[in-house]
């Protein structure tokens, strides 16, 4: 059993809880998730099963989309509603024109300080462990990219809902905290849902109840998505059956083992390798100056 299940993580469970659940229901050990979601957050958590676990890092590196509720007038230790309140002020309404100006500062490549209550490691220790022990540490700024940040709802008082599309490693809690600072009243993240982890989205995700039912009825295969969906933007190159063994063993594939004319591809082009309609893995088109010809260098196999 190999593939990716687009899991809808409910609030109140850790990402590791989801892995344990899938392992137990599928009776498989080789299961891995693709990007941690905070326990109280909900939403898309792609889970790789079997040989698809080789693709975990590729999915983790893809951009993400979140919907967050930000509450103004409150600051907490954890930058969300679950932390101890550090400061609070009464906010009767939000100046939406000012907010739109502030949001401009959060589009594109930005630098942010991760929350001290986070799982980032410093000197082999997680940041939240330092916080719990009351030990002060210097946190380094991180560069992330916000592709879009838009207001989607406003309760006419102190809560605004934002949709944020961003690169991996972006802390939405930090964005909420920083927006609050720029607005001059403080803010905290009140709710978080991951809408998408490219190319997976919440509309076609599966609940734990649906996964359990499919596992019981032995229909889980219908939920498994092929690994090659992650690389759909890459061109396909087909190899002959005679080259199958060489490919899975990491050997170079030359023209006689390729169904297409490899010379038509630009050197250094990353490609999806397919054999008999089966996705095998990734390769890179290389040029050999000694032999004056191109070939496929195997990059990663997923079988």
Q: Active site residue: 17, 38, 95, 163, which one?
A: 38
In the residue annotation, 38 being an active-site residue is answered as yes
d(CA 139, CA 113): 7
Catalytically annotated residues: 38
């Amino acid at each position: 059993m190999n593939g990716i299940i687009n899991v809808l993580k409910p609030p109140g469970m850790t990402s590791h809880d989801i892995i344990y659940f899938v392992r137990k229901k599928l009776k498989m050990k080789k299961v891995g998730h693709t990007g941690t979601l905070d326990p109280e957050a909900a939403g898309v958590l792609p889970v790789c099963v079997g040989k698809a676990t080789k693709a975990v890092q590729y999915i983790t590196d893809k951009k993400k989309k979140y919907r967050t509720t930000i509450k103004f007038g409150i600051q907490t230790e954890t930058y969300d509603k679950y932390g101890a309140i550090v400061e609070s002020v009464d906010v009767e309404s939000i100046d939406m024109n000012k907010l739109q100006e502030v949001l401009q500062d959060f589009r594109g490549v930005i630098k942010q300080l991760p929350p001290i209550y986070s799982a980032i490691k410093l000197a082999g220790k997680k940041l939240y462990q330092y916080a719990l022990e009351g030990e002060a540490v210097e946190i380094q700024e991180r560069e992330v990219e916000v592709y879009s940040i838009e207001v989607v709802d406003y309760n006419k008082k102190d809560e605004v809902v934002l949709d944020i599309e961003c690169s991996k490693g972006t802390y939405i809690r930090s964005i909420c905290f920083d927006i609050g600072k720029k607005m001059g009243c403080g803010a905290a993240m009140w709710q978080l849902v991951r809408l998408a982890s490219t190319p997976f989205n919440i509309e076609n995700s599966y609940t734990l109840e649906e996964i359990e039912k499919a596992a019981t009825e032995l229909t889980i295969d219908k939920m498994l998505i092929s690994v090659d969906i992650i690389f759909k933007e890459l061109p396909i190159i087909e190899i002959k059956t005679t080259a199958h063994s060489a490919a899975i063993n990491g050997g170079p594939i030359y023209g006689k083992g390729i169904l297409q004319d490899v010379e038509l591809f630009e050197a250094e082009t990353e490609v999806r390798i397919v054999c008999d309609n089966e996705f095998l893995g990734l390769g890179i088109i290389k040029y050999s100056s000694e032999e004056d010809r191109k070939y496929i260098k195997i990059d990663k196999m997923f079988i």
